[in-house]
Structure 1
């Protein structure tokens, strides 16, 4: 399993599309949003630059792991690679865990690059907040890694990219990635894993601490998505 994780990470980091769309694109979008919204503060006292630093970091992380995992798995299914892996001693559960772990590791560059850009633009957090925020967003990305694996086995190889992109953009749109959600929309957004993911940064706001409701919600989504990924992998095994 360790070997598979290492190979998956190396393959992803060598992918130029990954570097462009998951690492550089969110950083460029960050500049767009801070210029569009100005340099003031949003409701709750959170500076615009801090809010969009977090939302673009989560945007890059979710995009990296969700689309990357689903597309790689769909291609492996189409080429017969997963069928070959089943002939090895690697258990199905270990394969699923390896895919999730490898996907989550590749979210770190997307997060750290946007953080570096945010710091260069004047975002000020203490050392503990920077470390805590990076850890929270990285751990939260495991949820979407599991969802990406599930999508990879749920959808047909020819349609997986379209399905993932629609789901990804819908979750981002109503999850506070492009703009703060308030009122009725916020109540609905609490059932959206992307909204909960963005809420992990709540402790950076004046007078706030870590949102334990968001943590619990994401933990629940992780269990559900991992179980779904495992079940779909087994279904694919029976159909092979």
Structure 2
């Protein structure tokens, strides 16, 4: 499993499309959003520069693991690589966990580059807040890595990409990525993992602590997505 994780990480970091769309693109979008908001100084209870730094970091992280893992799995299924792996001593649970772990590790560049852009634009956080936010967003990305693996096995290989993009954009649109969620939508957004993911940053507000409800919600989603990924992998094994 360790070898598989290393290979997956190296393969991802060598992908130029990954480096642009999940590392550089969110940072460019961050600069666009803070200039588009102009004189507005608050968004979702946070300074505009901080709010969109978090939302673009989560946008890049979700994109890195959701589209990356699902599309790689679809290609592996189509080429027969997954079938070859099943002939090795690698157990199914190790394959699933390895895919999730490798995908989540590759989110760090996406998060850190946006953080660097935020710092350059004047986002002011304490050292503990910077470190805590980076750790919270990285750990939260495991939820979407598990979802990506599940989606990679949920549909036929040729249909995975459009399905992932629809799920990805819908969650981002209703999860506060592009704009703060209004009160009328918030009761529905609480069932959206992207909304909960963005809420991990609330402890950076003065007098606020880590949103334990968001943490619990993401934990529940992680369990559901891991179980779904394992079940879909076993289903694919039976039909292969």
- Do Structure 1 and Structure 2 share a fold, with TM-score over 0.5? yes
Preserved contact between residue 39 and residue 49 of structure 1 (Cα < 8 Å): no
What is the aligned partner in structure 2 of residue 144 from structure 1? 144
* Structure 1 residue 39 displacement after superposition: 4.8
Q: State yes or no: 1:116 paired with 2:123.
A: no
* Structure 1 residue 205 displacement after superposition: 1.1
Tell me the TM-score normalized by structure 1.
0.98
1:28-61 Cα shifts (integer Å, max 9, x gaps): 0001100011254225651100000000000000
Aligned-partner Cα distance in 1 for 2:43–2:104:
31
Aligned-partner Cα distance in 2 for 1:39–1:195:
25
Q: State yes or no: 1:176 paired with 2:176.
A: yes
Q: Which runs of 4+ in 1 moved over 4 A?
A: none
What is the aligned partner in structure 1 of residue 18 from structure 2? 18
Aligned-partner Cα distance in 2 for 1:84–1:43:
49
Aligned-partner Cα distance in 2 for 1:39–1:236:
52
Partner SS, residue 158 of structure 1: helix
Aligned-partner Cα distance in 2 for 1:13–1:55:
22
Partner SS, residue 122 of structure 2: coil
Tell me the TM-score normalized by structure 2.
0.98
Instruction: Trace 1:22-171 onto structure 2 (pairs within 5 A).
Output: 22-42=22-42, 45-171=45-171
* Structure 1 residue 229 displacement after superposition: 0.2
Instruction: Give ranges in structure 1 of 5+ residues lacking alignment.
Output: none
* Structure 1 residue 190 displacement after superposition: 0.1
Partner SS, residue 180 of structure 2: coil
Instruction: Give ranges in structure 2 of 5+ residues lacking alignment.
Output: none
Aligned-partner Cα distance in 1 for 2:147–2:44:
31
Tell me how large the CA RMSD over aligned residues is: 0.9
What is the aligned partner in structure 2 of residue 6 from structure 1? 6
Change (3 A) 1:148 1:43: closer
Preserved contact between residue 38 and residue 48 of structure 1 (Cα < 8 Å): no
